[in-house]
Amino acid sequence: MVEFEENHRPLILVTNDDGFDAGGISVLSEIAREFGNVVVVAPDEARSGMSNAITVKVPLFVNQVKKEKGLFVFKSNGTPVDCVKLALNSILPGRPDLVLSGINHGSNSSSSVHYSGTLGGAREGVMNQVSSVGFSLLDYSHDADFSAARPFVRQIIRQVLQFGLPAGTFLNVNIPAGDNIKGIRICRQARGKWVEEFMEREDPRKQKYYWLTGFFQNLEPNATDTDEYALKNGYVSVVPCNLDITDHSAIGQLRDQSYEISVNGVFEKD
């Protein structure tokens, strides 16, 4: 368990899915230190696309790799969600005030929120009643330039620490690449999907194997209130996401279709 000299400052947990030594998490940790004491617990290597996966068949290891004033950095062989669980249960000196995940190298807009390990880390934070934010930059390169993103990351952290978030809500923040960011827009998630393709190859033993590839398809390209629209037009997109994935509008329809039935065969109605 870590200890800080100035324990009156907010406690901020940082994780990601690109690995503890990725450029994005370094920038995010640096910005977070302006607001409080920071503990980084992140995978020891890239574990993108893990969503909310947890490790159950092998033991988890945690190693401290850095200690500075107001900062501890740990790496683990677990997933982003494993890292948050380990931090909350075994590493942090108390309940954190904020969980930050990222900054991811690459977009996590639209349906990517369901696959993203970055958002898995943020989702795990809010599952434990901690305000949480996932950050992503629309640049997949290893040496992505985060300089233009800094003021927007700083502003969002400041806002969340000051005002908090509704219960069960975390933020999915995506930031355009480049220097011409126009501002921040609160949006909804665009309806879209990944059109998946598999490259078929053959190993030296003549056994076939496949590499996943493909492209994203925006299913509502003309909508102006979505994250995809905001990003396309140079804005940081902020999508509030909720743990409750119930489609409340469909409950009445399913009841009208007599899905509900009691053990004695009598349909139940409210």
Q: Give domain status of residue 207, yes or no.
A: no
Q: Give domain status of residue 215, yes or no.
A: no
What is the per-residue pLDDT for 196? Answer: 84
What is the per-residue pLDDT for 215? Answer: 83
Q: Give domain status of residue 202, yes or no.
A: no
What is the per-residue pLDDT for 220? Answer: 94
Determine the Cα–Cα distance for residues 45 and 67; give it in Å rounded to an integer. Answer: 19
What is the per-residue pLDDT for 246? Answer: 94
| Angle at which helices 150-163 and 23-32 cross, to 10° | 50
Cα→Cα distances 244→169, 230, 241, Å: 9, 25, 9
| Domain tally, the chain | 1
pLDDT in tens, the chain (270 residues): 788 888 889 999 999 999 999 999 999 999 999 999 999 999 999 999 999 999 999 999 999 999 999 999 999 999 999 999 999 999 999 999 999 999 999 999 999 999 999 999 999 999 999 999 999 999 999 999 999 999 999 999 999 999 999 999 999 999 999 999 999 999 999 999 888 888 999 999 999 999 888 888 899 999 999 999 999 999 999 999 999 999 999 999 988 887 776 666 555 555
Q: Give domain status of residue 59, yes or no.
A: yes
Q: Give domain status of residue 235, yes or no.
A: yes
DSSP string for residues in 16-58 = -SS-TT-HHHHHHHHHHTTTSEEEEEEESS--TT-TT----SS
Determine the Cα–Cα distance for residues 228 and 191; give it in Å rounded to an integer. Answer: 9
Q: Give domain status of residue 71, yes or no.
A: yes
What is the per-residue pLDDT for 43? Answer: 98
Q: Give domain status of residue 3, yes or no.
A: no
Cα→Cα distances 260→247, 250, 252, Å: 16, 13, 11
Q: Domain range spanning residue 239?
A: 11-191+220-245
Q: Give domain status of residue 212, yes or no.
A: no
Domain containing residue 80: CATH number: 3.40.1210.10
pTM, entire model: 0.92
